[in-house]
Structure 1
Amino acid sequence: MIATRYALPYAVYHSPLPVMSLGLDVFVTLSFSSEISAKGMEAKGIENAESLIAAFFHLTGSGALSGATIAPWDSTASSVDFVGGPASNATWKVSNIRADERSIPILAQLFLITHSDFPITKIMIRGGLGERTLVALPATDKDLGIYPTVFTKLASRVGISPDLSADVIVVAHFASDPTIAQKEAIRLKIEDWIAASAIGCYPAPPHRPDFCSLEYDGTLDFFQAELQIGFRNFYCHREALYGLCNSLFAVKDNAPEVMRIVIM
């Protein structure tokens, strides 16, 4: 079941599943309230929303949203483009997206940040602009299994402590010592996940997405084939760490294979 833990103040509809995992184009349309339909305010609302869609795009590109069945190195999107819209509607096209369907609530919840200053009445996530058969995104009280999980075929390589604090340490063991160029490829994947998480892509109810964040000092510590990363004030949903694991696995073609990830 694809659902949100939030009582969203706007309606959310999406095309019948699957829609995000097919490697096709997806159109995201926001309907703003008449309060910001005036020129200037509407432009600022669109700018605000576009920055959030860009964060979601980079999170997808990191491999974090691959979920159980899509290989992280195959999970991506090729571009995001504003395609306009009539009146107070604004539409973006996310091209060739291949992500777990549980990325739908991540995207829908993210616009709570926009809504606080530029009220939204409806969001549509569609496989085509002419799609008329839409499904309402339901709410759930379930707190686990709401965000994309670790890629099943590699999940046995991941160990996450059940007693995480606000200071999180991640240790990844590679099959061999990465080269300088490979370390840079690893850094880019991880920092895309970090930036999206810090913005609020993995909120933990009842907190707003922009409350949920983490602190990172910009340092990746490599000790031969071992990588250590530390995060302070980790206030994201625990399942954000599934995305980090997928991002690490996603460097498969540009770095040595990740053999083990331990998060404590």
Structure 2
Amino acid sequence: MIATGFSLPFQFRYSALGAMAGQPLAIRVRVAQPDPDGLVALTLRLFGQMALSGALGGGSVAPWDCTLALSVLPGRDPGESVFRAQPCRLADEAWVVLCHLLLRLHQRLPIRSVDVLAPGDASPRVLVTDAAESTFPGVYGRLPFALEDRKPEGGGYSFYLRLESPLAPDSELRLNQALEVWVRAVLLGAYAMAPGDPARCYVEPDGKGVVSYGHVIEWAVFKLQADPVAALAGLVNLLACFHARCQPLSMVEIG
């Protein structure tokens, strides 16, 4: 079961195990007014970028196996946006992240309903609302590097990464791009924590990118206002994906 701690102003239905099984899915978002700026599409684009960064892995889905390719399908009327997700392989809890992004969007563009369905699914599940806590993707259980989380408090976090070789320029570019996606996702409510207002989610990165020297990468963020466990899990999964796809890490320390 996946759930959100928020009381949703719209219904969110999904096909059980559809994401983890890698099935093709249709994502259908109905809104109450025209969307001339394509805000729904922009939100889905960010969700897709999160998937490709590895942040939406976890459980039995390795972050480096995460994939989500979205294509636009015709809707039945102007108030409906439809996307084909194929291929799609994510942790099932990723739909909670999508729900929270759309909940944040709802403040600008009223949403009526969201369906994330596999073909022929006649019995989709309804996302549980008003739960004691939201179920977000957790840290992947078989990380390829050592993780030391000192569990700092106060909203500031420093990340110390040890590489097996000096950071290559192309790897630095890809890592900074992935971290920018994570920051944008936090700011747009992906890891909002009920009962807080998703619009108040915030994080402030230190500088414009990572700092590297020798076999070390350093990065820091301040003033994190979101679910810290969920946001950091997404970041650790992102780093696991970087390890597999770009450049091996031997250790990650959060302090």
Q: Could you state the TM-score of these two structures normalised by the residue count of structure 1?
A: 0.87
CA distance in structure 2 between the partners assigned to 1:90 and 1:179 by the alignment: 40
User: Does residue 125 of structure 2 align to residue 126 of structure 1?
Assistant: no
Query: Which residue in 2 is equivalent to 1:197?
Result: 186
CA distance in structure 1 between the partners assigned to 2:176 and 2:105 by the alignment: 29
3-state SS, counterpart of residue 105 of structure 2:
helix
CA distance in structure 1 between the partners assigned to 2:67 and 2:250 by the alignment: 22
Amino acid at match of 1:99: L
Query: Which residue in 2 is equivalent to 1:70?
Result: 61
User: Does residue 71 of structure 2 align to residue 81 of structure 1?
Assistant: yes
CA distance in structure 1 between the partners assigned to 2:146 and 2:59 by the alignment: 14
Q: 1:11 to 1:116 in 2, by over 3 A?
A: same
Q: 1:153 to 1:253 in 2, by over 3 A?
A: closer
Q: How does 1:13-28 map to 2 (within 5 A)?
A: 13-15=13-15, 17-28=16-27
Amino acid at match of 1:55: L
User: Does residue 216 of structure 2 align to residue 226 of structure 1?
Assistant: yes
3-state SS, counterpart of residue 93 of structure 1:
strand
Query: Which residue in 2 is equivalent to 1:29?
Result: 28
User: Does residue 126 of structure 2 align to residue 136 of structure 1?
Assistant: yes
Q: How much does 1:59 deviate?
A: 0.3
Q: 1:25 to 1:208 in 2, by over 3 A?
A: farther
Q: How much does 1:253 deviate?
A: 4.1
User: Does residue 42 of structure 2 align to residue 43 of structure 1?
Assistant: no
Deviates more, 1:113-122 or 1:236-245: 113-122
3-state SS, counterpart of residue 214 of structure 1:
strand
User: Does residue 241 of structure 2 align to residue 242 of structure 1?
Assistant: no
CA distance in structure 1 between the partners assigned to 2:172 and 2:144 by the alignment: 23
Q: 1:262 to 1:106 in 2, by over 3 A?
A: same
Deviates more, 1:111-120 or 1:226-235: 111-120
Segments of 5+ residues of structure 2 without an aligned counterpart are: none
CA distance in structure 1 between the partners assigned to 2:27 and 2:156 by the alignment: 35
CA distance in structure 1 between the partners assigned to 2:83 and 2:203 by the alignment: 28
Paired residues of 2:144 and 2:240 also in contact (CA < 8 A): no
Q: 1:189 to 1:118 in 2, by over 3 A?
A: closer
Segments of 5+ residues of structure 1 without an aligned counterpart are: 37-41
- For these two proteins, the number of residue pairs brought into alignment is 252
Q: 1:116 to 1:254 in 2, by over 3 A?
A: closer
1:56 to 47, 61, 76: 47
Q: 1:164 to 1:155 in 2, by over 3 A?
A: farther
> Which structure is higher in strand share?
2
Paired residues of 2:151 and 2:254 also in contact (CA < 8 A): no
3-state SS, counterpart of residue 27 of structure 1:
strand
3-state SS, counterpart of residue 35 of structure 2:
helix
1:187 to 173, 176, 200: 176
Q: How does 1:158-173 map to 2 (within 5 A)?
A: 158-173=147-162
Q: Could you state the TM-score of these two structures normalised by the residue count of structure 2?
A: 0.90
3-state SS, counterpart of residue 215 of structure 1:
strand
